A = this chain, B = another copy of it.
Amino acid sequence: MTTHLPPYWLRDNCPCAECRDQRNGQKLFQITELPDDLGIAAQAELDGHLEVLWSDGHRSRYPLEWLAGAADGDGRTEADKRLWAAADFAHGIPEAHWEAYLADPAEQAAVLAAVRRSGFAVLRGVPAVERQVLAVAGTFGHVRVTNYGELFDVRVEPDPNNLAFTSVAITPHTDNPYRDPVPTLQLLHCLDNSATGGDSGLVDGFKAAAVLREEDPEAFAVLTRTPVPFVFRDRGTELRADRPLIDVDPLGRIREVRFNNRSIGTLRGAAGELEAFYAAYRRFAAITLRPELQLEFRLDRGDCLIFDNVRLLHARTAFEKDGHRHLQGCYADLDSLTSTLAVLRRRAAALDTIAELFAGEGAGEYLGEAVTMAEHMLQAGALAQAAGAAPHLVAAALLHDIGHFRGALHGRDLMEGRDNRHSDTGADWLARWFGPEVTEPVRLHVAAKRYLCAVEPGYRERLSEASEYTLGVQGGPMTGEQAAAFAAHPGAEDAVAVRRWDEQAKEADADTPDFEHFRPLLAALMH
């Protein structure tokens, strides 16, 4: 199989440190720097890897699993969406409470995933205060400022420059199609909705486009290939963007929908083209108005709707002026939302990995102590928590021996007389997820033992038998000079605190919480 891989593709994907920044994956060479006659001089499969010697002498090593990887997408086309009709939400729409969203990364991830897959979600109980919508956007991305400002107020205005700022019904549309780039997300936060009417509606524009493609493929094709001039003009603004109503990617998959009858300007072209466009446009518009596609719900005070503005069409029923209706909205972009979701998932996966380490290797004996490694670490975390320690210290206490699981040298090697430097190994691994406030006490917890044995009378005597043994391997008590240097280290105090819980956390049959107890605390500390 691997013999048929195109050489430039393979070489461009070389994962070695010379070719690629190990931290961010950015390539360190230009594609033009590769020789014109690049070829594979030799290759072999070994240890689950393809090893390649290149004609220019470079060597590359690729995991076979990676080579066999399948194509995936960036999540922006219909291929990665859940297309929907109103009935699909008969049992409820994607929603979460603001407090839970803020407190629990899993809840936040679920909300962002709903926006990505279904195109929307509603946060309930968001404080109904002015400008709060900007804070909501800030939890996953960056506000996109437009001619309407950083945020806009949707309420009846005396001299409206947009239909949104009146009380009349508004049919399903996307916002700002006259912008290029169009804002890909919109947020609408309800501060007040005591008027009769003024309900919100959503239509899945991808679904509507897919229905059109099914029922009238030629009309669909016309809408994908006709750039339509969208225009908006007021005193300080003159925007125009020529884009198709339905934008497909090079593979023909629906990627973006723009639909706003109010802002379609004058399309020019041959009479036949105009005729075909208007027939297709009317047909598509009629589909977006089908009752089965209209999802209707009410935004009440404190609700914040987040939706994909290059996919979902939003609408509003007319309302009476018998009460107030006031929404604040802002725009943002899908790329940051998707990035935030990916990072949340990456962190959740890291916590899963740690949980597996506790459950797996952690269940093994702990260097001759009466507890398992997992019990020891859980006890240390629980002791820190019982002492009222700050979350980062609870995390450091909980994770201080993680290097025993992860090091190239296993914990057993320590008992065989070699310092496995598990404190450094653990701290370095944790640094992928946690800041120095967590990693440095872990890094220094071995040094802290050597320090305490040097400066605190009676400390060494209280060490367990195993800990007394490893003290020797680790270098014995510090000299006076070493101890002074250690004490001057800004992280010394935290490291000493962790060390004390470490020594205490060796009680057989203590009643300790399990790893899941600490997950929210860890999640909140991850960056």
Q: Does A278 contact B (CB under 8 A)?
A: yes
Q: Which candidate, A87-95, A201-209, A241-249, A515-523, is the interface stretch facing chain B?
A: A241-249
Q: CA A230 – CA B497 in complex, angstroms? A: 45
B240 with A162: CB separation less than 8 A: no
A74 with B241: CB separation less than 8 A: yes
Q: Does A482 contact B (CB under 8 A)?
A: no
Q: Mark A236-267, 1 if CB is under 8 A from B, else 0.
A: 11111110100001110000000001111111
Binding site for B on A (CB under 8 A): 4-6, 8-9, 12-13, 21, 23-32, 34, 69-76, 142-147, 161-163, 171, 178-182, 184, 224-227, 229, 231-242, 244, 249-251, 261-269, 271, 274-275, 277-279, 281-282, 285-286, 289, 333-336, 338-339, 342-343, 346, 432, 527
Q: CA A311 – CA B430 in complex, angstroms? A: 41
Partner among B26, B163, B289, B527 whose Cβ is within 8 Å of the Cβ of A235: B527
Q: CA A251 – CA B224 in complex, angstroms? A: 11
Residue of A145, A342, A343, A527 ringed by the most chain B CB atoms within 10 A: A145
CB distance from A100 to the nearest CB of B (A): 22
Sample (10) of A-B pairs whose CB atoms are under 8 Å apart: A23-B161, A28-B262, A31-B285, A32-B289, A73-B242, A147-B336, A225-B250, A227-B249, A235-B432, A239-B338
Q: CA A23 – CA B5 in complex, angstroms? A: 60
CB distance from A252 to the nearest CB of B (A): 10
Q: CA A262 – CA B25 in complex, angstroms? A: 8
Q: Give the residues in chain B near A346, CB-CB below 8 Å.
A: 238
B8 with A278: CB separation less than 8 A: yes
B285 with A238: CB separation less than 8 A: no
- What 10 additional pairs, Cβ within 8 angstroms, besides A26-B262, A181-B182? A6-B278, A13-B266, A71-B269, A72-B268, A74-B227, A74-B241, A74-B242, A147-B336, A227-B251, A237-B343
Q: Give the residues in chain B near A13, CB-CB below 8 Å.
A: 266
Instruction: Given the known inter-chain contacts A242-B73, A278-B9, please indicate yes or no for A250 contacting B226, CB distance below 8 A.
Output: yes
Instruction: Given the known inter-chain contacts A31-B285, A289-B32, A346-B238, please indicate yes or no for A339 contacting B74, CB distance below 8 A.
Output: no
Q: Give the residues in chain B near A182, CB-CB below 8 Å.
A: 181
Q: Give the residues in chain B near A226, CB-CB below 8 Å.
A: 250
B274 with A6: CB separation less than 8 A: yes
Residue of A12, A70, A144, A527 ringed by the most chain B CB atoms within 10 A: A12
B339 with A239: CB separation less than 8 A: yes
Q: CA A30 – CA B315 in complex, angstroms? A: 13
B76 with A5: CB separation less than 8 A: no
Q: Across the interface, name the chain B residue whose C-beta is closest to A66.
A: B266
A268 with B70: CB separation less than 8 A: yes
A271 with B144: CB separation less than 8 A: no
CB distance from A466 to the nearest CB of B (A): 36
Q: CA A71 – CA B335 in complex, angstroms? A: 34
List of 7 A-B pairs having minimum Cβ-Cβ separation, nearest first:
A181-B181, A71-B268, A238-B342, A142-B145, A8-B278, A74-B242, A6-B275
CB distance from A499 to the nearest CB of B (A): 28
Partner among B263, B271, B343 whose Cβ is within 8 Å of the Cβ of A6: B271
B162 with A26: CB separation less than 8 A: yes
Q: CA A285 – CA B27 in complex, angstroms? A: 15
A31 with B242: CB separation less than 8 A: no
A181 with B23: CB separation less than 8 A: no
Q: CA A75 – CA B239 in complex, angstroms? A: 11
Q: Give the residues in chain B near A178, CB-CB below 8 Å.
A: 335
Q: Across the interface, name the chain B residue whose C-beta is closest to A32.
A: B285
Q: Give the residues in chain B near A249, CB-CB below 8 Å.
A: 227, 242
Instruction: Given the known inter-chain contacts A23-B234, A24-B234, please indicate yes or no for A335 contacting B239, CB distance below 8 A.
Output: yes
Q: Across the interface, name the chain B residue whose C-beta is closest to A235.
A: B527
Q: CA A227 – CA B247 in complex, angstroms? A: 14
Q: CA A342 – CA B279 in complex, angstroms? A: 32
Q: Give the residues in chain B near A286, CB-CB below 8 Å.
A: 32
Q: Give the residues in chain B near A432, CB-CB below 8 Å.
A: 235
Q: Give the residues in chain B near A4, CB-CB below 8 Å.
A: 271
A31 with B261: CB separation less than 8 A: yes
Residue of A72, A242, A432 ringed by the most chain B CB atoms within 10 A: A242
Q: Give the residues in chain B near A285, CB-CB below 8 Å.
A: 30-32
Q: Across the interface, name the chain B residue whose C-beta is closest to A71.
A: B268
Instruction: Given the known inter-chain contacts A9-B267, A237-B343, A238-B339, please indicate yes or no for A231 contacting B25, CB distance below 8 A.
Output: yes
Q: Give the residues in chain B near A267, CB-CB below 8 Å.
A: 9
